[in-house]
């Protein structure tokens, strides 16, 4: 069992005040909570009524934390975007402490947490830096056995500088408002939104605050985690589609003819990440993926192209591994130099590379036993960091070059890029036919490919309506005909 669950911090502080009063303070859960993204929390009302705090104790907490008040928050969010039990987050719009003194209410509005992220407010598309709170659904013990929050699941900290002696004040409260993010943009906004649940809050000693900062629960799997000023958080990876999912690229390789239109001629799973520095700029691009199925009679190369700006440049490498092995195949790793767009030829001559004995196809016949496919990784190091606004949009440009026809096959809306292909010369620069049928698709990672010779429209009956413009059929890929598709789920192809 992870030893963090048995941690007992030095949570009790003995403070000798000027009047000689000795106070022992222990990290204490407060009665108030952050509900529906907002909290106005009385700092004297503890979660256990008999242990309410005094202003002298608040002053003890302030002195222990170097003239700041430190609070721990139990991040308790509904799963959305990348959020899950192992990693949840919110962005903070504002946080302040209001202290009632003889002269009136004094507000302390400067605050910080250990992490930031670049997210857009609801109704906006421009991203800005906001402080964030990240946690998980685990339980840990952060205080001694006398504390009423012993064994509870506090995650992240907020610190607010307070420049006055609190012992002579009459009241104090914490005001917190979470940011309403533009969830329509996907992640990271969907991750850092807030739900209608509530978050517990504790006032904590410096020892417990430091312990939680170092523990950093949930941070490793959160998207776009940036180091807050004065902290040493590691660089962040921003994944597409996510850190535990893949895109599925599927092709009909007889372009511009529909052929059997079964969309299993080549099926590849892939994901991409940006490595970001503490300013939120990309310093490298990486990714990985798998061969899932090959039902095409033609031979082809599979490319993954990132349309970086003309000013981008760098070096990197691509590695292809033998199925079920940690050993690269012959010719890999392969070095990459790029200036402007990075066009990675990852799988070369797939029909030669990946075979199933004497079978012409791999993982597409109805009764065929599935066999592992090759895995790939790549890493591109940028010579100069790139702002996020200059990075190419997902799902990028995964495409085929088909040897038999010398045609490229891209997603609809993309353009040919190879000088050696026939597309431009033959006027085949659109990747849908006259009826609007595509020849390349990008789909969710649990998509099931049609079995051999089954038209994708029969395997997914709602596809025809979607192509015809029926808005109600946009999720056509969620309803396969089980007897006409192959169970090539991630549990199978993530070899």
Question: Using one digit for the tens of pLDDT, what is the confidence trace for 156-208?
Answer: 999 999 999 999 999 999 999 999 999 888 888 888 999 867 889 999 998 88
Asked whether residue 211 falls in the same domain as residue 323, the answer is no
Quote the pLDDT of residue 374: 95
Judged against a pLDDT cut of 70, whether residue 491 lies above it is answered with yes
State the total domains in the chain.
Answer: 2
Cα–Cα distance measured from residue 21 to residue 59, given in angstroms and rounded to the nearest whole number: 12
Quote the pLDDT of residue 12: 36
Judged against a pLDDT cut of 70, whether residue 24 lies above it is answered with no
Question: Where a domain ends, among 212, 232, 252?
Answer: 232
Banded pLDDT at 490 (limits 50, 70, 90): confident
Cα–Cα distance measured from residue 84 to residue 222, given in angstroms and rounded to the nearest whole number: 10
Asked whether residue 341 falls in the same domain as residue 450, the answer is yes
Question: Where a domain ends, among 210, 232, 254?
Answer: 232
Q: Is 231 exposed, middle or buried (0-12, 13-18, 19+ CB in 10 A)?
A: middle
Asked whether residue 286 falls in the same domain as residue 201, the answer is no
Q: What is the pLDDT of residues 404-449, one digit of tens each?
A: 999 999 999 999 999 999 999 999 999 999 988 999 999 998 899 9
Quote the pLDDT of residue 117: 87
Question: Where a domain ends, among 176, 211, 232?
Answer: 232
Asked whether residue 259 falls in the same domain as residue 187, the answer is no
Quote the pLDDT of residue 82: 58
Banded pLDDT at 231 (limits 50, 70, 90): low
Q: What's the mean pLDDT when you consider all of the chain?
A: 86
Asked whether residue 205 falls in the same domain as residue 326, the answer is no
Residues near 467 by beta carbon (within 8 Å), at least 6 away in sequence: 435, 436, 437
- Domain of 79, in residue numbers: 3-232
Asked whether residue 283 falls in the same domain as residue 227, the answer is no
Asked whether residue 63 falls in the same domain as residue 176, the answer is yes
Task: Report the sign of the C-alpha dihedral through residues 418, 445, 251, 347, in that order.
Answer: positive
pTM: 0.61
Asked whether residue 464 falls in the same domain as residue 426, the answer is yes
Asked whether residue 95 falls in the same domain as residue 223, the answer is yes
Quote the pLDDT of residue 128: 85
Asked whether residue 169 falls in the same domain as residue 276, the answer is no
Banded pLDDT at 80 (limits 50, 70, 90): low
Cα–Cα distance measured from residue 272 to residue 398, given in angstroms and rounded to the nearest whole number: 11
In this prediction, what percent of the chain has a pLDDT beyond 70? 88
In this prediction, what percent of the chain has a pLDDT beyond 90? 57
Phi/psi of residue 11, nearest 5 degrees: -90, -10
Cα–Cα distance measured from residue 86 to residue 92, given in angstroms and rounded to the nearest whole number: 20
Asked whether residue 212 falls in the same domain as residue 268, the answer is no
CA-closest candidate to residue 92, choices 238, 192, 212: 192
Asked whether residue 160 falls in the same domain as residue 291, the answer is no
């Amino acid at each position: 069992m992870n030893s963090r669950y048995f941690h007992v911090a030095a949570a009790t502080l003995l403070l000798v005040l000027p009047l000689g009063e000795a106070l022992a303070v222990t990290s204490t859960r407060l009665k108030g909570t952050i509900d529906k993204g907002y909290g106005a929390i009385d700092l004297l009302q503890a979660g256990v009524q008999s242990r309410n705090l005094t202003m002298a104790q608040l002053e003890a907490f302030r002195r222990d934390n170097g003239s700041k008040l430190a609070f721990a928050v139990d991040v308790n969010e509904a799963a959305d975007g990348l959020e899950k039990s192992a990693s949840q987050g919110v962005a903070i719009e504002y946080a302040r402490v209001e202290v009632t003194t003889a002269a009136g209410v004094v507000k302390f509005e400067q605050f910080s947490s250990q992490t930031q992220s670049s997210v857009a407010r609801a109704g906006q598309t421009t991203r800005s830096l906001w402080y964030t709170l990240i946690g998980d659904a685990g339980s840990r013990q952060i205080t001694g056995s006398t504390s009423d929050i012993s064994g509870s699941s506090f995650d992240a900290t907020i610190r607010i500088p307070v420049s006055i002696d609190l012992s002579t004040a009459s009241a104090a409260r914490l005001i917190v408002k979470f940011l309403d993010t533009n969830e329509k943009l996907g992640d990271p906004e969907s991750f850092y939104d807030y739900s209608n649940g509530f978050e517990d809050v504790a006032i904590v000693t410096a020892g417990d605050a430091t312990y939680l900062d170092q523990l950093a629960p949930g941070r490793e799997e959160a998207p776009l985690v940036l180091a807050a000023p004065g902290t040493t958080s590691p660089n962040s990876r921003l994944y597409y589609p996510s850190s535990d999912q893949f895109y599925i690229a599927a092709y009909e390789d007889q372009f511009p003819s529909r052929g059997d239109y079964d969309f299993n001629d080549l099926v590849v799973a892939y994901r991409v990440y940006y490595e970001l520095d503490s300013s939120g700029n990309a310093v490298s691009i990486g990714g990985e993926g798998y061969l899932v199925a090959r039902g095409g009679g033609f031979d082809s190369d599979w490319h993954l192209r990132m349309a970086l700006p003309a000013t981008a440049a760098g070096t990197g490498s691509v590695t292809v591994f033998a199925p079920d092995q940690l050993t690269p195949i012959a010719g890999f790793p392969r070095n990459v130099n790029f200036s402007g767009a990075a066009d990675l030829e990852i799988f070369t001559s797939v029909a030669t590379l990946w075979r199933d004995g004497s079978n012409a196809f791999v993982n597409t016949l109805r009764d065929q036993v599935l066999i592992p496919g090759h895995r790939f990784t790549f890493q591109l190091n940028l010579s100069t960091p790139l702002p996020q606004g200059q990075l190419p949009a997902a799902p990028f440009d995964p495409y085929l070059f088909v040897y038999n026809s010398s045609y490229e096959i891209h997603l609809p809306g993309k353009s040919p890029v190879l000088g050696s292909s026939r597309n431009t010369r033959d006027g085949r620069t659109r990747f849908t036919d006259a009826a609007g049928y595509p020849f390349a698709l990008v789909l969710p990672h649990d998509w099931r490919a049609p079995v051999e010779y089954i038209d994708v429209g029969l395997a997914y009956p709602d596809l025809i309506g979607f192509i015809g413009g029926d808005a109600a059929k946009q999720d056509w890929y969620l309803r396969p005909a089980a007897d006409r598709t192959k169970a090539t789920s991630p549990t199978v192809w993530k070899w």
